[in-house]
Structures are given as C-alpha cells and as structure tokens.
Structure 1
C-alpha cells in the first residue's frame, strides 16, 4: 500500500517502511504539515509488526533543503507561544526518529541542509553519494540549530560542532563521513545496493534484540558509572531470558537459523 500526503509518500516493501520526501519543486524543504506527516509515518512504522526497518529517502535532485521558505515567512509572524509550539513539533519529530525501536536508515542522494542534517543525525545508518553536500546554516539567518543540536553534537562531537554550527559552511560527503554524520559514501550506481546490503543484515537480526540494543545505546551514551554498570548488567540479563534471546542462543548452539531469519 502506498500513501501520498502533504509531500510524503509512505509504503511498506518487504518489511521495510519506506518514507519518501516528495516535494521536489521546493527541494523537499519541510513545513509544519510535512513535519507532522513525518512524525505520523515514523510512529506508524514503530508499531507495525510487519516492519523491521525504516528507510528515509527523497525524490528529485535534492535530499532536503531544510525549512520551506513559505513556512519561514509564516513563522516570522508567529507569537512566542506559536513559535514554541512550532519548534516543539520539529523537536518531537527528531525525538521520534531517535527513539524509534526499529532501525532507521537514510539514503542521501543529494544536498542536505539545516534541519535535514538533524533528520540524518537522529537516524541509525546513513549512506550518501560523493556528490552530496551538507551544511548547518541556521546562523546565516540569525537562528540557531537548536532542536537538532543534541543529535548533531552526539554524531559530530562538540569540537566539530563548534566549527560547522558557527561557520555554516558547506562540507562534502567525505567530510561528513569523517565527522561521523554519515556512515558510508558510495557512488550513485551503488547507492541502492548499499541500502539493500544494510537491510539484509538487519533482517537477519532479532527484532526484539535490535530494539533492546537501541535502548541500550541510549542508556550508556553518558559518563560511565556504577549506575551504568548495573543497568547494562540488568539489560543483558533481561534480554537473555526473553523469547528472542533464548531462541537466538539456541539457534546458534544448534547451528541453525533462528526463527526470525528462517524465511
């Protein structure tokens, strides 16, 4: 089934929720309607038992140019309370992607600017073509990359964020790879094959273990202390006695495929 709403196409293909930005006439820039649609799409994928991974991609030559100009014009007339509500909607989208229990992938075939870099940084696996360009441009128009900053600083580190947040300069896919914003850079001809390769690896993994692993990473992504030590011990103990944990270990010991990868 395919659904096209507010510049977004959503489909489920072989267990993958494919979310496609479809506003090429404005370089896939997002506005309040698209932000809401994206949030709904990720929420739906998170609870769909037929979905094991989520892929974000885009139509047209640009991946995403950031904020839509008409939306920005409307924001300029908003009160502080209206702006706060508007910003919270974007912050909620970023958090929804970040906390999605399913693996989230991004296929970057063109430029990604401003808020688009937040979509990328909040996701699990990002593959880009060498021609892709990136920029965190908010300071150029007197704004700050506020709601996307937790994900970008986590991905790039505070030291690199100081430079790229402040200069708003464009940087290449290879630089994005070195910064940790992108995981892999491949040619346009190899882009889809790279995505398929990652999806194949994810499909072979336990859905329950992947969700637990994502929660684990969020829990330990902080200074290591006794609380983290105890928490990590509790989490692996819980996973070992779960249905997926028992099945995975049994299948390994019995040298067979686990039930989730038998098809």
Structure 2
C-alpha cells in the first residue's frame, strides 16, 4: 500500500521510522491518516523484517489532534455518521495498542487531543523538553471520548482528571509525572535517547517481545469492546449538545465561545 500521509522506512536492523508527514496541517488526524495508521498497525506484525517502530511527526508539531476539515464535517453530520467516524479513530487506537511490535513515540513540538491518545497507546514515549501537551476537547464543548480508555488506562483516573476536565496545556515535565511520557530530554539529546530505547529490542527475540506485550495488555486493565462502544456513544451524545456546535463555530471564527471568561 502506498501512503499519502505517512513516511515509512526500515533500516538494516529492522528499526522502522514511521513519520506522520503532513507538516503543513501539524500532522492532524484526517480520515486518510487514520486509515493509513490503522492499516500499518494491522499489517506490521506480518513483516518479519520489522523489529521496532519509532513514530514521529514531521514539522513543528508531533500531532495537533483532529483535522479541521473532519471537525467541520461533524457539525453537519447525523448521529450515525458521527459514530462511524468516531469508530474509525477508535479502531486506529486499538490497532496501534495491539500491534505486536514495540512502539516508541518521539514527541517534538506538541501533542494535543488525539496526539495524546497516540502517546498513550505507545509502549515508550520520549519527548522533547519543550514539547506541550493538552487534552483540549472541553474548550470546544467536546470530550476526549475515543481516546479516553487509553488515556485513563495509562495515567490512572486521578491523574487523568487533572488535565482532561480543564483542557489546560501542560509541559513535557508534567506529562512525565502524569505517566504519558517515559522520559523528557533536550532537543539535542532526543535522538540518543531514542537509540538507547531501541537498542535492547534488537537483542530480544521478536516472538517473545510480541508475546510479552500481549501478556501485559491482557494481565493489565483491559480495554473491552463495550468500553470502546460506550466511548463512541458518549462522543455522539456530546456532539448533539448545542454547546458543541457553539464551541466548534467559535473555534473556526477565532472567537471565544459563550461560556469562556472574558479577558
């Protein structure tokens, strides 16, 4: 399959460089990117030359969250269409979470909304010290629904509530304390930090790595079909609230929504 939004290469050691490659849109999650990430994650285990995946984002931001065109389309969509689109994102997250290869996220610039969701399905997350993070959905009158099971599973309920409710922006050091990030370091140290995480996997048996990842998923808190279905329904419910329409329209008009405090 040829990818439009991803740039993929594999080196002689089986290290996969998987880059989100729509820098002009801050690597926002479009329908095309969601489909391509899903396809990659579901087929990577069938390629024996691949040992470990390093996921990065081209340009200034790792991933800005949902694509603006997708958000506009949801304003006019009916409930069935919204749920169908939400399920595609949920399927992508599950495919990345279940991928038998280890997934290392390299976060530069920032990760917001769905970008935080991707971080939370990664096995290891190395972030540039200057990177910013945010679960920004409530500013728009929405909720971090489809990413919610993975975010809460990674962070724990108490820590997730510190940042999910307010939609505030936080730095990489706090993301590390919250459990999203494994390690943060200076921009000049980032590549060396990634290499240090990759190297041990090249000495481990691929089948044992895959089996260990599956063991951890199944022995830990499982994300069930019912949880995913519930998150999709909750997002559809919120999209139907008039405040969601107001929040999205305000965002595109570059004005504050009616509930925001004047400053």
Deviation of the 1:86 alpha carbon: 0.5
What is the CA distance between 1:109 and its match in structure 2? 1.2
Shift of 1:79: 1.4
* Aligned mates of 2:24, 2:221 — CA distance in 1: 41
Over aligned residue pairs, what C-alpha RMSD do you find? 1.4
Instruction: Give the Cα separation in 2 of the matches to 1:90 and 1:70.
Output: 15
Q: Tell me the CA shift for residue 5 of structure 1.
A: 2.8
- Structure 2 segments unaligned to the other structure (5+ residues): 223-263
C-alpha deviation, 1:222, in angstroms: 4.0
The question of whether the paired residues in 2 share the 8 Å contact of 1:10 and 1:41 is answered with no
Q: Which residue of 2 aligns with 1:5?
A: 3
SS of the equivalent of 2:7 reads strand
What is aligned with 2:108?
109
Q: 37-46 or 91-100: which moved more?
A: 37-46
User: Any unmatched runs of 5+ in structure 1?
Assistant: 224-263
Aligned-pair distance for 1:4?
6.4
Give the aligned partner of residue 72 of structure 2. Answer: 73
SS at match of 1:198: helix
Write out aligned runs for 1:36-115 (5 A): 36-115=35-114
Deviation of the 1:205 alpha carbon: 0.8
Cα drift, residue 44 of structure 1:
2.5
Question: SS in structure 1 opposite 2:18?
Answer: strand
Output the TM-score relative to the length of structure 2: 0.81
Q: Does 1:201 align with 2:200?
A: yes
Partner of 1:247: none
Matched, 1:174 2:173: yes
- 1:1-263 to 2 correspondence within 5 Å? 5-14=3-12, 15-222=14-221
Structure 2 CA distance for aligned equivalents of residues 222 and 108 of structure 1: 25
Higher relative contact order (CA 8 A, sep 6+): 2
Residue in 2 aligned with 1:237?
A: none
Q: Within 2, Cα distance between the matches of 1:5 and 1:215?
A: 27
Deviation of 1:188 (Å): 0.7
**Higher Cα Rg, which structure:** 1
The Cα offsets for residues 55-75 of structure 1, whole Å up to 9 and x where unpaired, read as: 110110111110111111112
Alignment check: 8 A CA contact 1:18 1:55 kept: yes
Of 10-19 and 159-168, deviating more is 10-19
Give the 3-state SS of the residue equivalent to 1:72 in structure 2: helix
**3-state SS of paired residue (1:217):** helix
For the Cα contact (< 8 Å) 1:45–1:54, is it kept in 2? no
Task: With the length of structure 1 as denominator, give the TM-score of the two structures.
Answer: 0.81
Answer whether contact 2:153 2:221 (CA < 8 A) is retained. Answer: no
